[in-house]
Amino acid sequence: MNKLEVNNLNLFYGDNHALKDITLAIPARQVTALIGPSGCGKSTLLRTLNRMNDLVAGVKIDGDVMFEGSNIYRDVDVKQLRMRVGMVFQKPNPFPMSIYENVAFGLKAQGIKDKQVLDSAVEESLRSAALWDEVKDRLNTPAFGLSGGQQQRLCIARTIAMKPEVILMDEPTSALDPIATHKIEGLMDELRKQFTIVIVTHSMNQAKRISDKTAFFWMGELVEHGETTQIFNHPLDQRTQGYVSGEFG
């Protein structure tokens, strides 16, 4: 089943035609990797999936993004959408508050006050983000005291706490060292059982290791998409072949 379907999507930043007639299906409970050279439109496409580009001045979008059959640009409330389609950014961005408060933040904003409910949601989210054991004795200390890799897992926990259906990740490990990256990649293997994940990555090895499907972009076009093994081992287009073999990019 497809969780998201992008149909004939065009996006312009002023005169810059950044996404050109993109049609892409994103299957549920799989990891879809968006790859391609810098400036090809990967992050722009990712941001169209929860309408983050709406915040950019001068942006024009046509075409459809369907989320379980509803057009997110017509039929869906943006606030609701962003709860169902969460996002993790390139740089860990914890709030200037405690570890506990970071994870509970969204739930409290929804009006949840019951301490037991909050405590168990915080624990469950931190466990799902493979961080609980490292922080359970220091939940009330500032999030900024965590390492970069721990901060990124905290941001994942904060996203998970809202019980989204889709998690968008924009180069979530590019600011992390190899050990922290390895932890997040291991975590994604668990997360895919529960969530639909779309990840932008510059690392072809990462795309190969963690994704089920890969989409290759080139100057705003979606050149090719399919099973990750096919894209890397038997690409159909020469541009994909050149990129995945490291000839350019």
Ligand X SMILES: Nc1ncnc2c1ncn2[C@@H]1O[C@H](COP(=O)(O)OP(=O)(O)OP(=O)(O)O)[C@@H](O)[C@H]1O
Contact between 214 and ligand X by CB under 6 A: the answer reads: no
Contact between 42 and ligand X by CB under 6 A: the answer reads: yes
Binder to ligand X among 38, 77, 111, 178 (CB under 6 A)?
38
CB of 144 to ligand X, least distance (A): 26
Binder to ligand X among 8, 28, 56, 236 (CB under 6 A)?
56
Which among 38-46, 132-140, 204-212, 227-235 is the span making contact with ligand X, rule CB under 6 A? Answer: 38-46
Buried b (16+ CB within 10 A) or exposed e, 100-121: bbbbbbbbeeeeeeeeeebeeb
Q: Give, in order, the Cα–Cα distances in Å from 31 to each of 194, 196, 209, 215.
A: 11, 6, 11, 11
- Quick one: 220 exposed, middle or buried, by C-beta within 10 A (0-12, 13-18, 19+)? buried
Binder to ligand X among 2, 10, 12, 13 (CB under 6 A)?
13
Q: How far is CA 18 from the centre of its chain?
A: 19
CB of 82 to ligand X, least distance (A): 18
Binder to ligand X among 22, 35, 40, 107 (CB under 6 A)?
40
Contact between 54 and ligand X by CB under 6 A: the answer reads: no
Give the nearer residue to ligand X in terms of CB position, either 42 or 153.
42
Which among 12-20, 144-152, 204-212, 236-244 is the span making contact with ligand X, rule CB under 6 A? Answer: 12-20
Give the nearer residue to ligand X in terms of CB position, either 13 or 105.
13
Give the nearer residue to ligand X in terms of CB position, either 101 or 171.
171
Give the nearer residue to ligand X in terms of CB position, either 24 or 118.
24
Buried b (16+ CB within 10 A) or exposed e, 136-145: eeebeeebee
Contacts with ligand X by CB under 6 A: the residue count is: 12
Contact between 44 and ligand X by CB under 6 A: the answer reads: yes
How far is the C-alpha of 134 from the C-alpha of 126, rounded, in Å?
Answer: 9
Going by C-alpha positions, the residue among 43, 41, 16, 2 that lies closest to residue 223 is 41
Which among 42-50, 120-128, 224-232, 234-242 is the span making contact with ligand X, rule CB under 6 A? Answer: 42-50
Angle at 90 between CA 180 and CA 70, to 5 degrees: 120
Contact between 18 and ligand X by CB under 6 A: the answer reads: yes
Q: Which amino acid is at 163?
A: K
How far is the C-alpha of 42 from the C-alpha of 45, rounded, in Å?
Answer: 5
Give yes or no for a contact between 170 and 87, defined as CB atoms under 8 angstroms apart: yes
Residues found near ligand X in the complex (CB under 6 A): 13, 16, 18, 36, 38-44, 56
